[in-house]
Amino acid sequence: MIIDGLASTIPGTTFVNIKKTILEFGRYSTQFISGCNVTLINSDTKEKVSFVEVESNYLVSKDFKISPGSRWEMEVLMPNGKRYRSESELVPNEVPIDKISEKFTKELIFEESLGKYIAGHEISIDFEDPEEEQNFYYFQYRGFEKEIYCKLCNRGIYRSGECVSQINNPLAKEYYTYLCDQSCWKINYNEEISLFEDEFTNGKSISNLLVGRVPLYSNQDILVEILQLNISQNAHKYFKSIKDIVDNNSGFNAPLPSALIGNFYNIDDSEDPILGRFTAAAGRSNSIFIKRGGINEKIEGEYISPQPELLGDPLPNPITYVAPCIESRYQTKIKPLTWE
């Protein structure tokens, strides 16, 4: 069992993901657990905020945020009746980003599945580290690109909000694509863990700190929003342990060399092991718009050619061409404010 939860002072970034590890065909992977009851609790006022299950995540409203100086904890009721609660976390102070910049490089990251380096953009920031306290930073990014297809159905067609199997229809195509019914943006997240602590730079100006790497999986223009999350020392130690495990074991699918315990516990059974943690963070963000149309490097992302339904296709009526842009952690119909 793994519970990964974040609440921050940046609207739209609070989420919880609940998974279980499984072993399939000799490889470790994770599977989302549906049907949980997830609640965020203010440790002082006892205010409760409920999460809603959306597209393999548990989310709150997009305008929800927590405040620096408040304390929060999380409770999860599993479908099997088990109850997990996190330790209380104090929200640190926010630290703003002064400047954001990008640099294109032909050898951004080494892609093991391809056996070579792929191109992309390095994202760096400048900021002033506060002198009065020790700070621990956890950097994330959200990459916004215009969505082309709002639904792709493998061996199926889109009807009544879901993909309906056509596996027994020998005349159906391998897949069908459906355009978005309105302007829509897909949201990608960083695949690496990026951390920084001010042990040797307390109170100093931090310049040109590399905080994110955006692979060239698409030649579409992209808006990259860097989230600078000020977290607790315990949270920093936890994410540093994960980073070390991933860096030393070739990815998240590698088996853990040792138990990684976060701050969740079973309310009714202290012997029940649970992985993951709830983190309360004070965040500030800054964005940069990257035009990628003129880049001549090879795109390594998978291109999916359009395969729409056509009149006369041997498919159940009504013939369908579009699908809705569904608000989730990975998709939005709200245009990013700094999109050019």
For residue 147, the Cα-to-chain-centroid distance in whole angstroms is 17
What is the model's pLDDT at position 40?
Answer: 98
What Å distances lie between residue 58 and 65, 305, 328, CA to CA?
Answer: 15, 32, 10
Q: Looking at residue 25, what is its pLDDT?
A: 77
- Residue 280: pLDDT over 80: yes
CA distance 241 to 260: 8
The number of beta carbons lying within 10 Å of the beta carbon of residue 240 is 15
What is the helix (H) or strand (E) element at residue 248, kind and residue range?
Answer: helix 233-249
pLDDT tens string 137-182: 999 999 999 999 999 999 999 999 999 999 999 999 999 999 999 9
At 60-72, the pLDDT tens digits run: 999 999 999 999 9
pLDDT value, residue 257: 47
Q: What pLDDT does residue 259 have?
A: 55
**Tens digits of residue pLDDT in 262-277:** 899 999 998 888 899 9
> Quick check: 188 and 142 in contact, CB under 8 A?
yes
> For the whole model, what pTM was predicted?
0.89
Spell out the domain ranges in the chain.
2-147+184-303
Q: What are 32's two structure tokens?
A: 């989302």
